[in-house]
Structure 1
Amino acid sequence: MPAAIGIASPAAARPAKPLRADIVVYGCTAGGVIAAIEARRLDRSVLLVCTSNYLGGMTTNGLGWSDTGQHRAIGGLSREFYRRVKRHYDDPAVWVWSKRPNRATENFVDDDAMWQFEPKVAERIFEDWVREAGVTVVRNQPLRRDGRSVTRKGNRIVAFESRNSRRFEGAMFIDATYEGDLMAEAGVSFAIGREANSQYGETLNGVQLGNTTNHQFTLDIDPYRVPGDPSSGLVPRISGEKPAPDGSADKKIQAYTFRMCLTDVPGNRVPFPKPRGYDASQYTLLKRYMDAGYRDFFRKFDRIPNGKTDTNNYGAFSFDNIGMNYGYPTGTDAARAAIVAEHVTYQQGLLWFMANDPGVPAETRAEMSKWGLCKDEFAGNGHWPREFYVREGRRMVSDFVMAEPHLRGTKPTPKPIGMGSYNMDSHNVQRIVDARGFARNEGNIEVNPGGAYPISYAAIIPKRNEASNLLVPVALSASHIAYGSIRMEPVFMILGESAAAAASLAIEAGQPVQDVDYGKLRERLLTNRQILNLTEGAR
């Protein structure tokens, strides 16, 4: 039955009054939520404007096995989030579907914090926290991305408008989206894809076929529809494009995925759905890989509480939808929706294929059939995550760009506002035919920077002439490979808190964000127990 069509009354047709606050945060990622909480803690009025109806970004959409790096480098409200996780799981009553793990043998708890959690628990923590803090949350207000939604006065943003014709006015703005949508709409410079190694004096940027060893084909797999016959064309999910030389730039981006919250607990398990448009031929390359002996499909079913997983990509052909996201960062709303839908079909199809296709080895089908979606997660979305993992979209280009030498400590990083420590990490970017005529992935890099490193305030502020009252703590100014380390959820929370503290100081002084007194900002951050290096500050 079609939905009823209502006719708006004249009063209903009038646009709503603008909403105004000292600080307007666009994007309800974990970084955005923490920015809003910090703004209220500093007694600023704040609007937290969400593109959808939930809080937390990937932290509440399947990424429950936190990529933390060094726990000692996580302070402030980011640390407090993980403390709140631990306080929740300290209650024996919440362990419904499994026993609480043994602290001596499981990496769930570290001192006062807990680093693995269920999506619904993270969401409940954020919802309770913004309510406690008095944050005004405005939901389902995606930015109208038409080049005219941001009102400016000189280099200051005055307001932006949503697709639903809501207008949000503020003294300071924080773009906390993964995509960098507000900064782009405001005319701020950005990059997409991989820079050449030569641009910032790096070694791990650009095309990286020679260095792609992890999540790589370990067996020679023929990529042609008729094996051995290039004239027959390629099987699905492989590109015929020849890669550029190693270290050279391109506009391609690392693969996206849905981080799957799965369970093998029968009482909480929902069978995998067979997606519309299912096509078993999309997984031909994987079948050939398994026929050749590959059996490591289940290596990244990482356990989180209550018999669940955060299931991530593992191996040469897995949950990463390689090469199918290039148009997403700057795509129209319709183009983005099509890319998301294609990712759903691919990933649901992969799960169905592994559990049901007679060409899959019997023992693999039996193992996959033990798993399913979680009955008590994402109930309003068919138990499927509401958001997929935009590992990298736009990245701001400011006067200072975080790059590999800053992470390795061979170049100084001015004005630290937090720390990162995770590997310089890029998932695969493309799947191609190598010079020998076999399938090969390109782009996966996992290199430790050598320890925790500072992240600069200069990396979250735009060029002065582009925007003087905007901070960008998520799609910040960093090269592709540096962003690969910075882009972790605990770090986004750290940077969100620091951005809000800087915004408050800018309001207090009546200054552009570029002129914030770093000495005062540093003092405030240390008071807030942020970690700016590993020799000062407290957890």
Structure 2
Amino acid sequence: MSFKYLTKRALLFSFLAVCVLGITVAEAQKRNAYNADVIVYGGTSGAITAAVQVVKSGKTVLVVSPDKHLGGLSSGGLGFTDTGNKSVIGGLAREFYHRVYMHYDKPEAWRWQKKEEYGNKGQGTPAMDGADRTMWIFEPNVAEKVFEDFVKENNIKIYREEWLDREKGLVKKDGRIVSIKTLSGKTFTGKMFIDATYEGDLMAAAGVKYHVGREANSVYNEEWNGIQAEVFQHGHYFKKNVSPYKVEGDPKSGLLPYVSDEKIGKNGDGDNKIQAYCFRMCLSANPDNRIPFVKPAGYDPAKYELLTRVYKAGWTETFDKYDPIPNKKTDTNNHGPFSTDFIGMNYDYPEATYERRKQIIKDHELYQKGLMYYLSNDSNVPEAVRTEMNKWGLPKDEFKDNGGWPHQIYVREARRMIGQGVMTENETLGKKAVSQSVGMGSYSLDAHNAQRYVKADGFVQNEGDIGVHPKTPYSISYASIIPKKEDCQNLFVPVCLSSSHIAYGSIRMEPVFMILGQSAASAAVQAIDRKVSVQDVDYEKLKEQLLKDKQRLDL
């Protein structure tokens, strides 16, 4: 057999192999390619209401969720809902709380206590409203079930634990997103996209402008933005002098853990700091449903020495934010000068890689677990506190696949879009009118501490905790949930919307995210039907649909 014949034969086999391989690759790509009218990225409460609204409007939708569990903070421990004025919560958001009511209206829902024993506790108003048939306080598993019911009833396809390839997973052409690709290799093509994540990763990958940190007051002519040293509007500050040094009063001994050595800036100036994160722990004092606090990996009691000094100074508010939710549980939130907020340890989270974010989240978990163990066991903690704390633990019947620990960290703030319009404190406090409303907010401008520093007198203090109450509910503009036209023409951002830091302190509530998710979906459907950009949606037609869906747009 000649060399020439062998060469031809080898080339033929190579050609056939390439053809077969090409078909195989093409088939594999086809199997991993998905298409819908609207692609929703995220698993938050806002993501689910957006998806439901798309289906109800007669369009197709796919939800690409980095999360395994749906609902974000609403199902992740924040069961004592921050509502503000409940009358401005409409649409699917109100449907969610109606379903919670219907759940607790059944005797079998009260597994660990009687309904009347719970006492109908709420934030200033009843948790269960007989007139409107809503309930605003609930267990995490109940919230998650409501979201899963939404998904099942509307036949929504969820791709869980699918993470956007932030580096090269977004295809954009002529100012529009064509498709997104996840790290697993799946590609999702759509006409409209909704970024409903707490981080705004899709928005950032699309090249949309955004901000991280606190703007200076001068940027939007505000009063409560930027650095706010010595401004105390909640109780989360050091009310008495406490030394931040390892040896009290001795700067040469070095600083205690979790105290910054950075010099405080000028009030009203901007910086790159963001308000603190924490886990909203669901705790149980029921012996039959309690997992005791155990010593976490790397536990070091010295990390909590600052809290020891807070107790020595006479602080007695340990259990003030153990807010009761049904079945002898709590939604436990940060309270006081040294608590569950891990102040200053999240600055790089918004822009961080996935791996770095996982580490930040783990650090927060270990910090809080260490804090709970410290409060339960350390002899420096007052005996009365230790005795009470040992009655508490993680609930056996919540977050079962995570040992009772919440699956969602409280990302109070990350990226914020700089969009077609910007919501500022001037709109939220009623100083400026809002046009083209797509929903309403009413909660206080609530920002948690952003740093813990050493004052000029040598004592420690927290900074950034603001709580300014709007006199009346306010409207949220359509322009704040869409990018500028030159940035992207087929993207909505209802969670990391266009807002200043301090205005976001009010807007960032779970009911509002549900409201804006639904409104964004309605606008997406209209943009598809009219074949226009999100910036060219006919607002009057959109308003007509929002009102039909019982959204509350103004007073």
TM tier, shorter chain? over 0.9
Query: What's the CA shift for 1:253?
Result: 0.2
Give the counterpart letter for 2:384 in structure 1. Answer: E
Q: What is the rounded CA distance, in whole Å, between the counterparts of 1:382 and 1:93 in structure 2?
A: 24
Q: Does 1:131 align with 2:131?
A: no
Query: What's the CA shift for 1:243?
Result: 1.1
2:274 aligned residue (236, 248, 253):
253
Aligned position for 1:59: 74
Query: What's the CA shift for 1:154?
Result: 1.2
1:88 aligned residue (100, 103, 117):
103
Give the counterpart letter for 2:324 in structure 1. Answer: R
Aligned position for 1:462: 483
Q: What is the rounded CA distance, in whole Å, between the counterparts of 1:105 and 1:261 in structure 2?
A: 16
Structure 1 residues 103 and 309, CA gap change in structure 2 (3 angstroms) = closer
Aligned position for 2:41: 26
Bigger fraction of residues in helix: 2
Q: What is the rounded CA distance, in whole Å, between the counterparts of 1:361 and 1:103 in structure 2?
A: 30
Q: What is the rounded CA distance, in whole Å, between the counterparts of 1:71 and 1:324 in structure 2?
A: 33
Aligned position for 1:305: 326
1:191-244: CA deviations, max 9, x gaps? 000001111010000000132342111111111111111111101110011111
Give the counterpart letter for 1:190 in structure 2. Answer: Y
CA RMSD of superposed structures (Å): 1.3
- Would you say the 8 A contact 2:69–2:407 is kept in 1? no
2:261 aligned residue (240, 262, 267):
240
Structure 1 residues 515 and 271, CA gap change in structure 2 (3 angstroms) = same
Q: Does 1:325 align with 2:346?
A: yes
Q: What is the rounded CA distance, in whole Å, between the counterparts of 1:158 and 1:71 in structure 2?
A: 39
Query: What's the CA shift for 1:273?
Result: 2.6
Give the counterpart letter for 2:314 in structure 1. Answer: G
Q: What is the rounded CA distance, in whole Å, between the counterparts of 1:309 and 1:176 in structure 2?
A: 27
2:162 aligned residue (128, 132, 141):
141
Query: What's the CA shift for 1:14?
Result: 3.6
Q: What is the rounded CA distance, in whole Å, between the counterparts of 1:47 and 1:400 in structure 2?
A: 28
Give the counterpart letter for 1:27 in structure 2. Answer: G
- Would you say the 8 A contact 2:337–2:462 is kept in 1? yes
Aligned position for 1:207: 227
- Please give the residue correspondences for 1:383-462 in structure 2 after superposition, counting only pairs within 5 Å: 383-462=404-483
Aligned position for 1:179: 199
Q: What is the rounded CA distance, in whole Å, between the counterparts of 1:103 and 1:287 in structure 2?
A: 35
- Would you say the 8 A contact 1:212–1:441 is kept in 2? no
Q: What is the rounded CA distance, in whole Å, between the counterparts of 1:505 and 1:11 in structure 2?
A: 37
1:132-161: CA deviations, max 9, x gaps? 012111111011121x21101110000011
Q: Secondary structure at the match of 2:54?
A: helix
Query: What's the CA shift for 1:292?
Result: 2.0
Q: Does 1:167 align with 2:222?
A: no
Q: What is the rounded CA distance, in whole Å, between the counterparts of 1:310 and 1:469 in structure 2?
A: 38
- Would you say the 8 A contact 2:121–2:324 is kept in 1? no
Q: What is the rounded CA distance, in whole Å, between the counterparts of 1:73 and 1:12 in structure 2?
A: 51
Q: Does 1:108 align with 2:127?
A: yes
Q: Secondary structure at the match of 1:267?
A: helix
Q: What is the rounded CA distance, in whole Å, between the counterparts of 1:11 and 1:271 in structure 2?
A: 52
- Would you say the 8 A contact 1:207–1:248 is kept in 2? yes
- Would you say the 8 A contact 2:430–2:472 is kept in 1? no
Query: What's the CA shift for 1:360?
Result: 1.1
Query: What's the CA shift for 1:17?
Result: 2.7
For normalisation by structure 1, the TM-score amounts to 0.96
Aligned position for 1:5: none
Aligned position for 1:72: 87
Q: What is the rounded CA distance, in whole Å, between the counterparts of 1:235 and 1:304 in structure 2?
A: 35
Q: What is the rounded CA distance, in whole Å, between the counterparts of 1:433 and 1:361 in structure 2?
A: 26
1:316 aligned residue (337, 344, 361):
337
1:43 aligned residue (41, 58, 68):
58
Query: What's the CA shift for 1:294?
Result: 1.3
Q: What is the rounded CA distance, in whole Å, between the counterparts of 2:536 and 2:487 in structure 1?
A: 14
Q: What is the rounded CA distance, in whole Å, between the counterparts of 2:418 and 2:121 in structure 1?
A: 44
Q: Secondary structure at the match of 2:330?
A: strand
1:364 aligned residue (385, 389, 404):
385
Give the counterpart letter for 1:17 in structure 2. Answer: N
Give the counterpart letter for 1:302 in structure 2. Answer: D
Q: Does 1:335 align with 2:356?
A: yes
Give the counterpart letter for 1:108 in structure 2. Answer: A
Unpaired runs of at least 5, structure 2: 1-23
- Would you say the 8 A contact 1:144–1:163 is kept in 2? yes
Query: What's the CA shift for 1:105?
Result: 6.3
Query: What's the CA shift for 1:104?
Result: 6.7
Give the counterpart letter for 1:211 in structure 2. Answer: V
- Please give the residue correspondences for 1:217-232 in structure 2 after superposition, counting only pairs within 5 Å: 217-232=238-253
Q: Secondary structure at the match of 2:281?
A: coil
For normalisation by structure 2, the TM-score amounts to 0.93
Q: Secondary structure at the match of 1:184?
A: helix
Give the counterpart letter for 2:176 in structure 1. Answer: R
Aligned position for 2:18: none
- Would you say the 8 A contact 1:473–1:492 is kept in 2? yes
Give the counterpart letter for 1:223 in structure 2. Answer: P
Structure 1 residues 362 and 349, CA gap change in structure 2 (3 angstroms) = same
1:40-60: CA deviations, max 9, x gaps? 000110001110211100011
1:255-300: CA deviations, max 9, x gaps? 0000000010111011113210111111010011112221211100
Give the counterpart letter for 1:97 in structure 2. Answer: W
Query: What's the CA shift for 1:128?
Result: 1.1
- Would you say the 8 A contact 1:103–1:109 is kept in 2? no
Give the counterpart letter for 1:234 in structure 2. Answer: L
Q: What is the rounded CA distance, in whole Å, between the counterparts of 1:306 and 1:490 in structure 2?
A: 23
Q: What is the rounded CA distance, in whole Å, between the counterparts of 2:537 and 2:379 in structure 1?
A: 63
Q: Percent identity?
A: 51
Q: Does 1:485 align with 2:506?
A: yes
- Please give the residue correspondences for 1:287-302 in structure 2 after superposition, counting only pairs within 5 Å: 287-302=308-323
Aligned position for 1:510: 531
Q: What is the rounded CA distance, in whole Å, between the counterparts of 1:171 and 1:399 in structure 2?
A: 20
Q: Secondary structure at the match of 1:261?
A: strand
Query: What's the CA shift for 1:399?
Result: 2.7
